Amino acid sequence: MDIKKWKPVRTFFTFLCLILCLLAAGCSNVKEPGKENGSDASGLVIGFSQLGSESAWRLGNTASMENAAAAHGINLVVNNGMQKQENQITAIRSFIAYQVDVIVFAPIVEDGWTNVLQEAKDAGIPVIMMDRVINVRDSDLYNAYIGPDHYQEGVNAAKFLIRKSEELQNEKIRIAEISGTEGSSPMISRYKGFHDLIDNNDRFEVLETISGDFLRSKGRECMESLLRKYPDQIDVLYSHNDAMTLGAIEVMEEHGIKPGKDIVIISVDGEQAAIDLLKEGKINCVVECSPMLGEAVMDLAEKIVSGQDYPRITRPEESVFTEYDDLSDLPPREY
Ligand code: AHR
């Protein structure tokens, strides 16, 4: 058969097999190309391994991928890893088996990806890493990374703290840190960026860093535990995401503590609920981490498949929102 005729036929059968097999395996949101906005289908098939649905940030990120795929006429097959690396590895293997055109994945943790990415490379399937980064010796195991600079987010959080500390009277400023998922790149980098700036200053003391797994429910549990261990001692809460911050704030209020006043609160993400609390004075600083990566991912996938030059690293623009800013003109958040 003529190769030009074979390509759409192969794409159709790949997509059909993916729908049948991945729906059976728990994948969702298998979108028919180009239906949502009447755009022409590109015929590209992208297998997307999303790590879970732990936060509004994550839901916004998945929606951004789905909307951008629809706008580009790309067949997006989404698998939700439900917070488990083994589920993500299984999904990536099925994407390889069905020869998708591009694999996109948001790795839950940094380590443990070498074998499955080698399999994708051997199968000649390009891989885009999104949101989080991984630890692999051979960086050619993926083609490109699109996502925020999580180290800079930690630095931004510390910069706010340093500014805020100028107006605090305390001789020592005691910090409780609720971190993200152990072994994940945002957890590691937000920790490092923050500590690199404050650890050499004796005025700052981190009482404890405790993992809340980026979950609101665990943010609650962590705050309960921190208040039990350090009653009346916490001056600042540095929380690695808004979901955990929201849980922690609930607990503070249940204990009669005024968030944003009795305890200075620094959060990361920038979801609407956190911005609302910032405006109410219950959060002091929100470091933005943008989940709106879908458009950049689709552009990149098209460039890679059509053999054009493409950047190895793409970063979204990000900001820092603080109690010192006029936020009245801030447009509604999309997550
Ligand atoms: O990897 C990005 C982080 O993951 C976001 O800060 C958080 O909300 C999500 O769970």
* CATH classification at residue 127: 3.40.50.2300
Pocket lining: 54 vs ligand 1, CB cutoff 6 Å: yes
Q: Give the chain's mean pLDDT.
A: 92
Residues 95 and 173 placed together within one structural domain of the fold: no
Q: Using pLDDT thresholds of 50, 70 and 90, give the confidence band for residue 10.
A: low
Q: Using pLDDT thresholds of 50, 70 and 90, give the confidence band for residue 12.
A: low
Residues 69 and 134 placed together within one structural domain of the fold: yes
| Ligand 1 mutation target, pool 82, 211, 214, most atoms within 8 A of CB | 214
Residue 204 has pLDDT above 90, yes or no: yes
Residues 24 and 133 placed together within one structural domain of the fold: yes
Task: Check: CB of residue 29 under 8 Å from CB of residue 68.
Answer: no
Residue 301 lies in a domain: yes
Residues 142 and 82 placed together within one structural domain of the fold: yes
Residues 160 and 244 placed together within one structural domain of the fold: yes
Residue 23 has pLDDT above 60, yes or no: no
Please name every residue paired with 49 in a beta bridge, in sequence order, or none if there are none: 79, 105
How many domains does one find in the chain?
2
pLDDT in tens, 139-168: 999 999 999 999 999 999 999 999 999 999
Average pLDDT estimate for 307-311: 98
Give residue 7 CA to ligand 1 midpoint distance, Å.
37
Residues 122 and 194 placed together within one structural domain of the fold: no
Q: What percent of the chain has pLDDT over 70?
A: 88
Residue 158 lies in a domain: yes
Residues 283 and 158 placed together within one structural domain of the fold: yes
Residue 335 lies in a domain: no
pLDDT of 1 reads 43
pLDDT of 328 reads 95
Residue 323 lies in a domain: no
Residues 131 and 12 placed together within one structural domain of the fold: yes
Residues 99 and 53 placed together within one structural domain of the fold: yes
Full residue range of the structural domain in which residue 78 is found: 7-148+291-317
Residue 310 has pLDDT above 80, yes or no: yes
Quote the DSSP letter at residue 28: B
Q: Percentage helix, strand, coil, to 5, in the chain?
A: 40, 20, 40
Pocket lining: 58 vs ligand 1, CB cutoff 6 Å: yes
Residue 285 lies in a domain: yes
Residue 51 lies in a domain: yes
This prediction has a pTM of 0.90
Residues 88 and 157 placed together within one structural domain of the fold: no
Closest CA to 133 of 102, 96, 104, 108: 108
pLDDT in tens, 314-326: 999 999 999 999 9
Pocket lining: 289 vs ligand 1, CB cutoff 6 Å: yes
> Measured between alpha carbons, how far is 262 from 279 in angstroms, rounded to an integer?
17
Give residue 243 CA to ligand 1 midpoint distance, Å.
9
Residue 329 lies in a domain: no
Quote the DSSP letter at residue 203: T
Give residue 213 CA to ligand 1 midpoint distance, Å.
9
Residues 28 and 51 placed together within one structural domain of the fold: yes
Residues 238 and 162 placed together within one structural domain of the fold: yes
> Measured between alpha carbons, how far is 104 from 48 in angstroms, rounded to an integer?
5
